[in-house]
Chains A and B, each alone.
Chain A
């Protein structure tokens, strides 16, 4: 026994040495990589869409968050594993026992990009603006905040009306961006001259063409910033973006279209980066949206709404692996859940739950028979009129046809489709969600009765109870248990049928290093630069 213990101790020591060595090598690699980057130069990024207002209180677009990352730091940020880490705050919030008071310590000696001091009072000004400004998109995200105090320059105290565990995640997004009180007080439109704390500061913008940021002389960590400027060019046509990358007009391409990925992977001057995103694509099933979104829900009476058997059969007929292969060239990540595998919440919340990526035609046929509905039919609305959506519709149609469910496909312009979804004039709707770090952001809005994205019109008191409990609980363990229970209900009732998590591909010229893409799909270039 003694020998055995000694052996274990020796092995542990060896393992520790190996781990330390690996860590040292990794650190050396990082250092060498950083040292290989030269200072200066302009990085041009081809964005797939145009950001809306460059005002974190009003901003709504996904792509706007890419620009904000370089110019507006937040109280909290994400690390590469999508864990929440302090950015302008110095630590995660201290939460009172009753979960109604959050105390946040913020950095000292930090300046906004107009040279004024960043402090707790600025955080208070910004959060109060987020809560009260007309048209604020942030108000609903942080609505449980009742009041904000700044007892001293480095302490912010948030008083909540009810416990709200996704708050820290919200403060790791636009609600956590702190705006310069001087710029706000100057009047005019903040979006025309946005000033925050960030490695880069706003220079100019030509609508529909570009946004230019330049390196900030005020940034607290400017030694780590290599680029002199960043130009975000609006390039909505994906082929033009790819050609521009290959021609050297841009150095980073946002979201390469799937047909261009193989070409760029063969291009020796370009690195293709891949990110499984935290978003998902699925089918929203209209169960109770008879009178419109958030109006009293009652079963709409269609075949798929009135029979859980038909919904289950519809799901069982779907071969997610084949859909991915045929429609997306195998580039996405088939799955059955609203939380993506890249999220730290994925494993614990899906543990023990069944997810069959292949079709079970026999089961589907049995379920159709058991439903007692002869020749069930479903009208599938596609959220777009492009060829990819059309292919998706056709593949689903043929899979359902094999089990006896007749699907009629209606390709619909995206905004019109959203209107129809809100009005409840659909049976099933193929639509996606860009995803949020906290599970609440991917579940609550879509399936809780008061959810503002509950186009399914789904209402289930047990699920509401569970999801509200998860919002109030601060313990990761208890939230995990609650979300797993919630997913069991969603999986059984199927107000949403999840198909896959989009995998985004980004092109980066080999002359540039340090571009990072995390699971949130945002392009991070704060530490990027041209190689020597």
Chain B
């Protein structure tokens, strides 16, 4: 097990290293001189030179990379164009997106699983058709449109919820929920539609399985049959889908964060691209890449713990 872990961690480190190079070069391939973007209306050659110097853009690429990565390894991601520490900004913004994604999963799972179960149990009836049709609509409606409609109805017309912004849970628990309710609903709608269809399909399989027929033959109530036997087995599929959708949710949060003006990680990335803020963008993408690598590593480890054959086959392939 130790060897397996070491191999996986080593591979992960190599992936992070390679992705840091890709990030570094990829960002510089963006059109537009960052000094011009950062200089705003000032294009005095002396100012341009000063900007290039202060961001190290006047140095050869390999020198820039070594300087950046050596600092990053020490936990210093540098100062952005606002002269603020990039590391601190990321630490402030990332939890907001994670919280939003968590709430979206909560919304999506609650609606999707319930609707999926009802649709499967009442297969072919009105409720099944309604749930399926609603799921289709949920999948088709773009996030930005739904977001804007919700803002107009619930914030502008009814004044029930704030149209934009974010307050932390620690500072104001109720305010936090008020600010994130609409964004979580918007993000969760797409997920609930996917989950509804997956749950329905998995439930239909389970409900026609032998063990469910046995449970019914034993005289268990329908609630017990559906809740304890069929649903429990169907949740394996549902859980896998949630896991797969989480990445998409975090990426999809960019649009939702933009519409609801939530200072999350997605908006931070978008702003960094628009402003050609190399230091910030490098930090953001490096953290995201590292996050994905770490999650994959954890998944590999979890699989190997659950299924020792993966460890063995992994070792034999070496």
| Residue ranges of A at the interface with B (Cβ–Cβ < 8 Å) | 50-55, 58, 60-62, 134-137, 139-140, 189-192, 205-210, 233-237, 239-240, 243-244, 246-250, 293-294, 413-416, 418-419, 422, 433-434, 452-453
The CA-CA distance from A169 to B271 in the complex, in Å, is 32
- Are the CB atoms of B83 and A240 closer together than 8 Å? no
With A52-B81, A207-B80 given, is the CB distance from A233 to B165 under 8 Å?
yes
- Are the CB atoms of B82 and A240 closer together than 8 Å? no
* Selected contact of B41 from candidates A60, A237, A416, CB within 8 Å: A60
Residues of B within 8 A of A189 (CB): 79, 83
Nearest B residue to A61, CB-CB: B40
| Residue ranges of B at the interface with A (Cβ–Cβ < 8 Å) | 31-33, 36-47, 50-51, 53-54, 79-84, 89, 92-93, 148, 151-152, 155-156, 159, 162-166, 258-261, 263, 267-268, 271, 274-276, 280
Nearest A residue to B88, CB-CB: A207
The CA-CA distance from A60 to B14 in the complex, in Å, is 39
The CA-CA distance from A206 to B262 in the complex, in Å, is 12
* Chain A interface mostly: loop
The CA-CA distance from A368 to B95 in the complex, in Å, is 62
The CA-CA distance from A413 to B79 in the complex, in Å, is 25
The CA-CA distance from A243 to B162 in the complex, in Å, is 10
With A52-B82, A208-B93, A415-B36 given, is the CB distance from A244 to B163 under 8 Å?
yes
A-B contact pairs, 6 of them (CB 8 A): A60-B38, A234-B261, A240-B163, A243-B156, A247-B155, A293-B43
The CA-CA distance from A334 to B32 in the complex, in Å, is 31
The CA-CA distance from A214 to B89 in the complex, in Å, is 22
Nearest A residue to B90, CB-CB: A207
- Are the CB atoms of B40 and A62 closer together than 8 Å? yes
- Are the CB atoms of A415 and B276 closer together than 8 Å? yes
With A54-B82, A235-B261 given, is the CB distance from A135 to B89 under 8 Å?
no
- Are the CB atoms of A233 and B261 closer together than 8 Å? yes
The CA-CA distance from A328 to B46 in the complex, in Å, is 36
Residues of B within 8 A of A190 (CB): 83
Residues of A within 8 A of B81 (CB): 52-53
With A60-B41, A236-B271 given, is the CB distance from A53 to B166 under 8 Å?
no
Residues of A within 8 A of B263 (CB): 206, 208-210, 234
Distance to closest chain A CB from B204 (angstroms): 42
- Are the CB atoms of A53 and B163 closer together than 8 Å? no
- Are the CB atoms of B258 and A237 closer together than 8 Å? yes
Residues of B within 8 A of A416 (CB): 31-32
With A208-B271, A209-B263, A237-B259 given, is the CB distance from A418 to B83 under 8 Å?
no
Residues of B within 8 A of A137 (CB): 39, 42, 47, 50
Residues of B within 8 A of A237 (CB): 258-259, 261
From B43, B51, B79, B261, residue with most partner A Cβ within 10 Å: B261
Residues of B within 8 A of A191 (CB): 82-84
Residues of A within 8 A of B93 (CB): 206-209
Residues of B within 8 A of A210 (CB): 263
Nearest B residue to A136, CB-CB: B50
Distance to closest chain B CB from A184 (angstroms): 14
